[in-house]
Structure 1
């Protein structure tokens, strides 16, 4: 007689059947767990597609320079009509403390309706400082390293000096370029700056005070 079909022991056969059922269910649970670990249902066979971090950035062009170049350049186009060019004298401050040196610049604006070219290099620039009826300083008195710089002026646009000129608060004279020059009066003295480019002069002066 088969002991599997007819369990033999001091206990009733129903007890042995319950034990076998519990043991069988435990083995089945272990098998299911192992299968789930191996198969991993729901997992993808391949690696997930990476999220793109790149963006299509539109190409941009460099902004047009708004400074007068310091080296010789060549611009295409017709020469500017002097009547369509506005020159403005510029200082970095209106009042300078004792010992503080003014920074002088020039701004050029094309007031015409079309682009034109102009030589705005240092060879064409003139800065003049006056007080009352007296001229105290000119940038051309002791100027060196003059350069031409032909630039294209767009209509309605303004360009400015790339590097300001520093005035040392002295009187200028071609005969004193290599000598100790006299300091100009200060202590609240008022001065006026006039600029010119290629003979086109600023219609207004820029006033400033030296303390």
Structure 2
């Protein structure tokens, strides 16, 4: 083997042997690389398959459009609620003028009674006018502007002080703050009506009410008993 025999020179046979040996090494080396590549590819494929089997692919989260990322949604924008406007205050009433006329708001009208009277009695009623303002004022207190009424339980008119014997006088006064003026009126104990033409009779016993008036100002009603 180490000493080739043949008609050709020995160098020719050595070159042939080297060529065959080189080809053999090349074939063996290429086959080894193919085997390694095959084994490596098989392992990667198995891992990928197992991963695909055991873990499903997660879908990427949907991102909002670019415009929504810059401009907020109208539903998420909170509009400030305007504060309620305070209620309008009423205009102040003009202050009364000292020495001017006493308006109905500046006086208080009340009627006083003895509380009760027997049938046919002649009780005295009093009409009281008081200046309840803070300044002096002038009021016309003529007798023709004064009136006292007797009403039954149903509110019907029974008697009036100006029905049959009306009085007249000229009486204008300046009332100081808190000053009161009293006017007595006597009832004759009989019924009456404004024309004083109807028959006058004695009211029956029962519960009645008395009310006073001074021109346009009217007092509250006061209970009165006829027994």
Normalising by structure 2, report the TM-score. 0.52
Match of 2:210 among 185, 193, 199: 193
- Counterpart of 1:7? none
Q: Which of 171, 188, 209 is equivalent to 2:191?
A: 171
Q: 1:181 maps to what in 2?
A: 200
Alpha-carbon RMSD across the aligned residues, in angstroms, is: 1.9
Is residue 110 of structure 2 the alignment partner of residue 110 of structure 1? Answer: no
More helix as a share of residues: 2
**Could you say what secondary structure the match of 2:100 adopts?**
coil
Deviation at 1:98, TM superposition (A): 4.0
Extract structure 1 runs of 4+ deviating beyond 6 A. Answer: none
- Structure 2 gap segments, 5+ residues each: 1-97
Distance 1:192 1:157, change over 3 A: same
Count of matched residue pairs: 129
Q: 1:209 matched to which residue of 2?
A: 225
1:94-150 residue CA offsets vs partner (Å, 9 max, x unmatched)? 122344311011111111010001111211101111012211011222233411211
Secondary structure of the corresponding residue to residue 83 of structure 1: helix
Determine which structure has greater relative contact order: mean sequence separation of CA pairs < 8 Å that are 6+ residues apart, divided by chain length. 1
Tell which structure's C-alpha radius of gyration is larger: 2
Mapped to 1, the partners of 2:222 and 2:130 lie a distance apart of 16
Partners of 1:124 and 1:148 within 8 A in 2: no
1:156 is aligned to 178
Q: Among 121, 136, 158, which residue is 2:158 paired with?
A: 136
* TM-score (structure 1 length as normaliser): 0.56
Indicate the residue corresponding to 1:121 in structure 2: 142
Structure 1 residues 78, 205: CA separation in 2 closer, same or farther (over 3 Å shift)?
same
For structure 1, the residue ranges without an aligned partner over 5 or more in a row are 1-75
1:174 and 1:122 mapped to 2: Cα distance? 16
Distance in 2 (alpha carbons) for counterparts of 1:183 and 1:98: 7
